[in-house]
Chains A and B, each alone.
Chain A
Amino acid sequence: ETGVTQSPTHLIKTRGQQVTLRCSSQSGHNTVSWYQQALGQGPQFIFQYYREEENGRGNFPPRFSGLQFPNYSSELNVNALELDDSALYLCASSKDRITDTQYFGPGTRLTVL
């Protein structure tokens, strides 16, 4: 196990609703990255937080937002859910944002109906 935990494991929402996903980093890690993985595809980078500040963002609309807390845990918020948001959402933590390995949590499976 990586020491990275995510909650909830599964979630079902309806279109237009809002959702919050949570991630606890591995001890000693100050960087958290979030990814969206659609079925049968590779992960797509959403954004990264380094010491509580957003440090990079992929090609996702502003309705995808996040937070990192002083203990380096993190939240991913998605507003106005769309059917295409259905995916596995992965969180990864690392000691730094450049060379260190990212260790992944088990993911949250979001289904939007």
Chain B
Amino acid sequence: AQSVAQPEDQVNVAEGNPLTVKCTYSVSGNPYLFWYVQYPNRGLQFLLKYITGDNLVKGSYGFEAEFNKSQTSFHLKKPSALVSDSALYFCAVRDPGSNYQLIWGAGTKLIIKP
């Protein structure tokens, strides 16, 4: 079955340290992958996407993600975390086998400590 997994409910990082939020997926065909961020009581904000091309994708606010086809992963990274990065992060994939609807992970709460 098509799915997206975010194995960590919460990630804690000290300010200034690198951060990684993990995402793995399972879909048929070539995936189109997205990362979004959600602040409390707000809608979802787009960070970055992978459609095709270079496996390393750069996005908003200094975030980047690496598409790894063999490991079916699309981990979100940032070299130096800011306290303002604290939020809920969602990975999503468009499933070609389901009319390209977006399938979402359960979300990872990122906490950056000063």
Q: A interface vs B, CB < 8 Å?
A: 2, 4, 33, 41-45, 48, 55-56, 58, 90, 92, 97-99, 101-107, 109
Contacts and interface: CB of A to CB of B under 8 A. Distances in A.
B57 interface: no
Interface size class of B (residues with CB under 8 A): 20 to 34
A97 B46 CA distance: 16
A103 B46 contact: yes
Interface of B: 32, 34, 36, 41-46, 49, 51, 90, 94, 98-107
Contact of B42 (A45, A48, A102, A106): A106
Contacts, number: 58
Contact of B46 (A55, A90, A101): A101
11 contacts: A33-B102, A45-B104, A56-B98, A92-B44, A98-B94, A99-B32, A102-B46, A102-B102, A105-B43, A106-B42, A109-B41
Nearest to B100: A98
B102 to A, nearest CB: 6
B10 to A, nearest CB: 12
Contacts of B98: 56
B15 to A, nearest CB: 25
A99 B44 contact: no
Nearest to A45: B101
User: Which 3 A-B pairs rank lowest in CB-CB distance, beginning with the nearest?
Assistant: A42-B104, A56-B99, A104-B43
A45 B104 CA distance: 9
